[in-house]
A and B are shown apart, each in its own frame.
Chain A
Amino acid sequence: MTRGRDPGNGRQAPDTIERALGHWEGSASRRDFLKTSGLFVFGLSAMGAAGAARQALGSQPAESGPYRDPDFLQLDSWLVVHEDGSATFYLGKTDGGQGIGTATRQMMCDELDLAFDRATVVMGRTDLTVDQGGSGGSDAIERDAMVGRRIAAEARRVLLEMASERFGVPVEELRVSEGVISLNGDPARTVTYGELVGGRRFDVALTGANINQAGGVASVKPVQDLKLVGQSIPRYDIPAKVDGSFEWAVDVRLPGMVHARNVRPPFAGATLTALDESSVRDMPGFLRVVRKGNYVAVVCEREEQAIEAAERLAVTWEKPATAPFPASDDLFEYLRSAEPEPGSERRGAAPVQGDPDGALASAATVVEAAYDVPFQGHTAIGPAHAVADPSDGQMTIYTNDMKPYSHRTGIAEFLGMPPEQVRVIWMEGPQLYGRTAADDAGFEAAYLAKELGRPVRVQWMRHEETAWDTKGPAFAIDLRGGLDADGNLVALDYQARIANYAHVGYNQARTVLIAQLMGLRPDQPSPGGARGPDDMYHVPNRRGETRAVRLPLVFETPLRTGNLRDPNGPQITFAAESFVDELAAAADADPVEFRLRLLRGATDDDEVFRRARSIAVVEAAARAYGWDARPSPGRLGDGPLLTGRGIAYTYRARTTIAVIAEVEVERETGRVRVPRMVCAHDCGLVINPDGLENTIQGNLLHGISRTLFEEVRFDGETVTSVDWRTHPTLTHRDAPERIDVVVVNGDPNPDRPDLRPYGAGEPSHKPVPAAIANAVHDATGVRMRRLPLRPERVLAELAAAGV
């Protein structure tokens, strides 16, 4: 096979993919790997070591396509043992900074009986790693790494069988330690994994109806036998992120690569009526203006030239005939009065329990409250970006899209190319939290690269990212609750309106921004919708309904909704758990005690013991905080700072969480600070305690930011949140001084050998807004029912209440 390359045709630099992969483990370990692996690494310079390993194993050629999908039912697709006995794991996952690679490597090394530093991980390359969907839903450890565990266990089983054959003894007489198999009776007789299969294929078929069920004959080890799991092993990606050597998706530079910038409509729903290319044609480095429908981009030789040309390009836009949306100040009134989309209630419906209306009618006390949560942006620290390379009639996209597989199929469909001619190479980028589930820049880069016939880099500007990224939907939520004469909650009615029509989905060829601007439309806009509150409370009469409301402009809108960290959870829980506090106050009960009563009102539980584990986290949080039981609000202080504490509890999938926030409210200014937080967290088996703690800390602070600062503002024509001043974020000054993370194992059988890990990437984000709002109420007696708790809003409420 020849691997001819012509550097003149814009093909990637010899070491681009090598470097793209190299960022995972740092260059030193990669060099060591190559030196010792002894593989025949032809084509290495273009393919990278992992590709080379595949090449030698005859499993995945394809530097120049077609790019076939690795077969998830082959052990060789997941795990390669090299001649030196080290291993590479191939995972169809991506990492948004939560240390998924490190944690999965721990789990797989544990099952394989290999030292942590003897393995490397390759993630998120559609041509090399099996399609595990990339990331999303906080399920990387809970679901996908469990597949990895089973596969590593199977590899160990096969290796033991090979050794058994070699030594002529039954497997039972063998033992394994760090990749070396020895005879129980004669420890001097050993064979290494490398000697058994290094550089060769296992050729072992796996079973499983789908990728999530893939596995082999071997079963995984009991939790008690795991040695690496449970250790705070330092993340392998951090050193390179600290010394500047890490290569991100933003760093990809290819020979012949040019730079593009988009030109966005200045008004939502505007139509491009004229474009005067002569306004930029004579600028240095100018190459092309690309226009289709309302999509416009300028391409130049150099980056700064593209930025300037995009600013200077003379374009005329016509405003739409009707307003695209109400102004942000009128949004909630709009949501409550608009006719909801028919059929949208289905997705949010929870079965009605008992007779909520009857119980409310006969309740001793009825409490009602309305809560509002605005649109909030992802506002990643780095705006969207991607590089696409169209060489050889194929398309390679370098991107931080968290779902590289749907990115690939979406781009193939968008460009009208067969999927096997398209590959996506995921590289790390700024935090994702759902933003890169539909990475607009990758589609744009691929489109422009095809148009120009050379590699194109697309980089969004800040105003573009903040205004046009996908948004977490706004909510208007009305709650009614009924207490009996003893203060027991007997009825709860939750009615939500969500501004979530035409949800953008995952990399769909007709919903990404460029497609919308070109005039493409999905057959049916996704009506959106949301779940109701997630709690294990026992309320005999209960109803939860959510209806989606559409804003006038459905497509080409900067208010596109998408998944923002724990999609909808913080909004829903802000209302639900604030309201539980309102009910507790009406019952003159302590908020912790009131919640425990609701949790203990029933004794049944589900298969993962969510009720028991809910009780465990609420109790643990209260204990860790030093909670003094009393109704809220407390006695208001006289000083300039009012202090209080609040709790909120919820679950997300199988993880249970309780958060306590302590707040200080400045009487003069209305400014809220959160000096201390406690989070009790039960996500089952903990893989890497320090990594878990870092992830939870990030979740909590991101929650503070959304509670106190973040809101997408817009007038009736356009989004006016365009930068860090107009869509502010938490800064160093407002970070808590103290955070206590309490890891709880509330399983009724905490030592069960099959204890599973549950997701941790998002759950602890969810109760934060409610915990803070409850603390503000405890401190001031004022109930804040609208996010964010901007000082002027708090001050107005304080004034209204005479505080």
Chain B
Amino acid sequence: MQETTLTVNGKTHTVDVDPATPLLYVLRNDLGLRGPRFGCGLAQCGTCTVLMDGRPIRSCILPVSRTRGEITTLEGLPEDGKLHPVQQAWIEEQVPQCGFCQNGQILTAAALLSNSPNPSDEEIRRGMNPILCRCMTYYRIQSAVKRAATAMAGTSGEEDR
């Protein structure tokens, strides 16, 4: 056991765990978060995704001691009490079926759009490809990413679209 300090959704936490513990278990079992979930523990599915300084990472394989910077989970994505445009688009497109994978889908989409505000269909497919969905909501996810891109372009005040 060893004390590790990490910043999650804007708050600093100190936990006393084996430093090799995957971040996923600390987020879920010590910090009580529900967004990231266990799917494979092998970095293959994306269900456990969180953002580390805005980049999607797989918390199931990252030792908590190697966590750097700011962690954002699905719970931390809304700003000023308002859902992130990606979350909003997910509701408008009624994307989820069981919803179990959607944590990874939403966070990955948010990161994709912050890097590439107006992605082509091909970029969306490529960017989202690592996140699996066994309910096969891919079709709606891809529509929702486009909807979110449009919404974000609208709110960021770009006139030259």
Given contacts A245-B34, A735-B136, contact A97 B96 (CB under 8 A): yes
Given contacts A381-B132, A462-B41, contact A245 B75 (CB under 8 A): yes
The stretch from A106-114, A724-732, A745-753 touching chain B is A724-732
In the assembled complex, the CB of A2 is this many whole angstroms from the nearest CB of chain B, namely 30
Residues of B within 8 A of A730 (CB): 136, 138
Main secondary structure of the interface of A (DSSP, over half): loop
Contact for B97 among A243, A694, A704, A705, CB less than 8 A: A694
B37 touching A304, Cβ below 8 Å: no
B45 touching A461, Cβ below 8 Å: no
In the assembled complex, the CB of B1 is this many whole angstroms from the nearest CB of chain A, namely 7
Beta-carbon nearest neighbor of A251 in chain B: B34
- Report if A657 contacts B (CB, 8 A): no
B98 touching A732, Cβ below 8 Å: no
Residues of A within 8 A of B83 (CB): 242-243
In the assembled complex, the CB of A254 is this many whole angstroms from the nearest CB of chain B, namely 12
- Report if A695 contacts B (CB, 8 A): yes
A697 touching B136, Cβ below 8 Å: yes
A462 touching B21, Cβ below 8 Å: no
- Report if A429 contacts B (CB, 8 A): yes
In the assembled complex, the CB of B80 is this many whole angstroms from the nearest CB of chain A, namely 14
A381 touching B133, Cβ below 8 Å: yes
The stretch from A119-127, A230-238, A475-483, A611-619 touching chain B is A230-238
Residues of A within 8 A of B32 (CB): 253
Residues of B within 8 A of A701 (CB): 136, 138-139
Q: Mark B5-16, 1 if CB is under 8 A from A, else 0.
A: 000000000000
Give the residues from 90 to 107 in chain B that come closer than 8 angstroms, CB to CB, to chain A: 90-91, 94-103, 106
Residues of B within 8 A of A383 (CB): 38-39
Residues of B within 8 A of A731 (CB): 129-130, 132, 138
Q: Bound complex: CA of A242 vs CA of B89, how far in Å?
A: 10
Residues of B within 8 A of A461 (CB): 41
Give the residues from 12 to 30 in chain B that come closer than 8 angstroms, CB to CB, to chain A: 17-18, 20-22, 25, 28-29
Residues of A within 8 A of B87 (CB): 242-243
Q: Bound complex: CA of A352 vs CA of B102, how far in Å?
A: 49
Give the residues from 36 to 64 in chain B that come closer than 8 angstroms, CB to CB, to chain A: 37-42, 44-45, 47
A302 touching B133, Cβ below 8 Å: no
- Report if B74 contacts A (CB, 8 A): yes
Most buried by A among B45, B78, B136: B136
B35 touching A705, Cβ below 8 Å: no
A250 touching B37, Cβ below 8 Å: yes
Q: Bound complex: CA of A331 vs CA of B111, how far in Å?
A: 45
Residues of A within 8 A of B42 (CB): 462, 723-724
Q: Mark A376-413, 1 if CB is under 8 A from B, else 0.
A: 00011111000000000000000000000000000000
Give the residues from 520 to 534 in chain A that come closer than 8 angstroms, CB to CB, to chain B: none
Q: Mark A713-740, 1 if CB is under 8 A from B, else 0.
A: 0000000000111000111110111010
Q: Bound complex: CA of A191 vs CA of B130, how far in Å?
A: 56
Residues of B within 8 A of A625 (CB): none
Residues of A within 8 A of B38 (CB): 250, 382-383, 459
Q: Bound complex: CA of A702 vs CA of B100, how far in Å?
A: 16
Beta-carbon nearest neighbor of B122 in chain A: A733
Residues of B within 8 A of A234 (CB): 91, 94
List the 6 closest pairs (A to B, CB-CB), nearest first. A701-B136, A97-B98, A97-B97, A241-B99, A735-B138, A244-B74
Q: 12 additional contacts, CB 8 Å, given A250-B38, A379-B134, A697-B140?
A: A241-B96, A243-B77, A244-B74, A383-B38, A430-B39, A462-B40, A694-B140, A724-B44, A730-B136, A731-B130, A732-B124, A732-B128
Can you report 12 A-B residue pairs in the complex whose CB atoms are below 8 A from each other?
A97-B135, A242-B99, A243-B87, A244-B77, A251-B34, A381-B100, A428-B99, A461-B41, A691-B94, A697-B140, A732-B138, A735-B136
